[in-house]
Amino acid sequence: MPSVLIRKGGGGSSSSTGGGAVSYDPFVADATKANGTTDNRAYLQGLLDQYQYVRIPKGATGDWVISDRLIARSNQVIDATDAVIRGSAATSLLTNTARVNMTGRDSNIRVYGGTWNKAVLGNALTAQTVLFAFVDGLVFRDSSMISGGTAAGGRYAVYLWNCTRFRITNINMNVSSDGVHLNGANANGEISHIYGTTGDDTVAILARDNATLELANTTAGGLGDVENIVVEHIYVNSNKNGVKVLSGRMDDGTTQLTVRNITIRNVNSTVSAYGVWLGGDPNYTALSGGVIDGVSVDTLKVTSGTNAAVQIHKSTTLRNVRVRNIRGSGQLVQLADAATVEDLVVESLNVQGTNRYVVAIAAGTTPGPAVCTKLTLKNIFYNASSNAAGLVSTANGSTLTALTIHDCHVARAAWAVGDFATPTNVYVRGLTSVSQNGWIHTATGGVVTVKEAALSTTSANESVTAVAGTTISSDDFGFRVKLGGIAKTVNGRAFNTDNTLTCGVGPVLCDGTTWKHLYTGATWT
């Protein structure tokens, strides 16, 4: 709190301290008024209307009960440390003036502590435990959130709409829906140190939402791009996703909204869906389309059954996505269902005992296949469970235009580079492999060209397998491979390792029908 000095203790007045700073002594609410039965809403709201710094202590004989939301205003501090604030009606427990008036903006609201118990759930916008909108400079921290009922969407513990410069931190969740949910043009914020259990997504960052849960559906009402959000230290059991980031579009159906510069790090969660979901949601028109530009996922450990640790899908264009240091019980990274990723980097992984590929690009059904223009794998140590999987898998109908591999090690893989059903150019700039079944396999739709190859093997099968109607070709003498599976193309290049072929072992060049040893001139057709 750089502009406000706070002294705890004392009366309810405020005074100048010189130098432009203001010190607020808190007005301490009368704890004897909290007995778990009496409606304290009018009393507490009266204090908030009169004093800028209000301390709500633990109730003398019970919870603080409120029948309507408390309304905070600009430059207000609420310290509810040790207090339990319990709702007795289907309404939010805390909001702010600009949200109530739906005009103007508030600034510098700080809320510390408190157990906020949404005992009566409500529907749509009355179902949110704490709802802040149009706030510049918000702190909500050191609190516990409680909401009952069966697990379901749409009842958010902490809901932010069009807020900037916010910090939501050190929150314990025991809630039946989302933990922290952002919607609208939120920017420049931090969500950190979230614990407990959520009935839906733990953290959701959305450009749009279900229409019944939006405050307005125009840019004037708070819609716009979402940017510069940090999510870190998330330790929650979630009934859906650990972190969800979705873009969207305006109601005209064409104006795309962009979510940019999102950092997700240090997440350790058990989830029923995905550790991180990036994309859109075609179940809602407003959440189809849009752009996500610049996402970093770093240090993710997720127990998700067979679901992906990082799932990228659903009718969205993504750019500049970087995933590093992740572990999961299922697929690590999966693209599906009409996601278009222009630049995806997956790096710094230690994968042990798996039978799944590091990256899987699925065909998808509705609304369509996944597309990845450029995939880069860097610094990955991959040890399969037993001659299983490999680095990359692509499905027929999906797209992977270019794959680049830097400094990776693969052991006991079925196909060290991958299993492809797509036209893909492969650039290998450092790959060692032990005890592999082969380098590359293609299925229906596969047309793989090895453009660069810097690789080595130990006790490995240096073969490739192209099923009927597919091809694997090589343009680099560094591709150490048994030539039998390589297509004969004009100016094809490889390093033959099969000593049974008449061209001999070594670098070979193809004229379209015959392979010729670069040094001895021996040939094989």
Query: 306: closest CA among 273, 282, 276, 284?
Result: 273
pLDDT at 274: 96
E strand or H helix that includes residue 117: strand 115-118
Give the separation between CA 195 and CA 269, rounded to whole angstroms. 9
Give the pLDDT band of residue 17 (cuts 50, 70, 90).
Answer: very low
| Strand bridging mode 248-249 / 256-271 | antiparallel
Q: Calculate the alpha carbon distances from 338 to 18, 154, 261, 348, 441 in Å.
A: 59, 25, 22, 27, 24
At 19, is the pLDDT very low, low, confident or very high (cuts 50, 70, 90)? very low
Mean pLDDT of 348-368: 87
15: pLDDT strictly greater than 60: no
Q: Mention every residue, 6+ apart, whose C-beta is less than 8 A from residue 215.
A: 99, 102, 125, 133, 161, 162, 184, 221, 222
> In the predicted model, is pLDDT for residue 18 greater than 50?
no
Rounded to two decimals, what is the model's pTM?
Answer: 0.93
pLDDT of residue 16: 32
188-202, 224-238, 453-467: which has the minimum mean pLDDT? 453-467
Is 142 buried (19+), middle (13-18) or exposed (0-12) by CB count in 10 A? middle
pLDDT, residue 365, reads: 65
pLDDT for the residue 366 = 65
For residue 1, the model assigns a pLDDT of: 36
Output the pLDDT for position 11: 41
Place of tokens 């189809």: 288
* pLDDT tens column, 271-283: 999 999 999 987 8
Residue 476 clears pLDDT 80, i.e. is over it:
yes
First vs last Cα of the chain: how many Å apart?
77
Would you call 487 helix, strand, or coil by DSSP?
Answer: coil
CA distance 159 to 125: 10
* Residue 3 confidence (pLDDT): 36
Average pLDDT, the chain: 92
Instruction: Report whether 316 contacts 292 (CB < 8 A).
Output: yes
Confidence of residue 24 (pLDDT cuts 50, 70, 90): low
CA gap 148, 163 in Å, rounded? 27
- In whole angstroms, how far apart are CA 244 and each of 238, 284, 525? 12, 15, 54
Comparing 358 with 151, the larger pLDDT belongs to: 358
Q: Give pLDDT, residue 465.
A: 95
Instruction: Identify which of 362, 392, 389, 396 has the alpha carbon closest to the alpha carbon of residue 377.
Output: 392
Residue 12, pLDDT > 50, answer: no
Q: Which two tokens stand for residue 525?
A: 């057709």
The 10s digit of each residue's pLDDT in 487-506 is 999 999 999 999 999 999 99
| pLDDT tens figures, 36-95 | 999 999 999 999 999 999 999 999 999 999 999 999 999 999 999 999 999 999 999 999
**Side chain identity, residue 264:** I
Quote the percentage of the chain above a pLDDT of 70: 95
- pLDDT, one tens digit per residue, over 416-451 is 999 999 999 999 999 999 888 899 999 999 999 999
What's the average model confidence in pLDDT over 355-378?
89
381-399 confidence digits (pLDDT tens):
999 988 889 999 999 999 9
- pLDDT, tens only, 214-270: 998 777 788 999 999 999 999 999 999 999 999 999 998 889 999 999 999 999 999
Separation of alpha carbons 334 and 370, rounded Å? 9
State the pLDDT confidence band at 4, using cuts at 50, 70 and 90: very low
- Residue 364: pLDDT band (50, 70, 90) is low
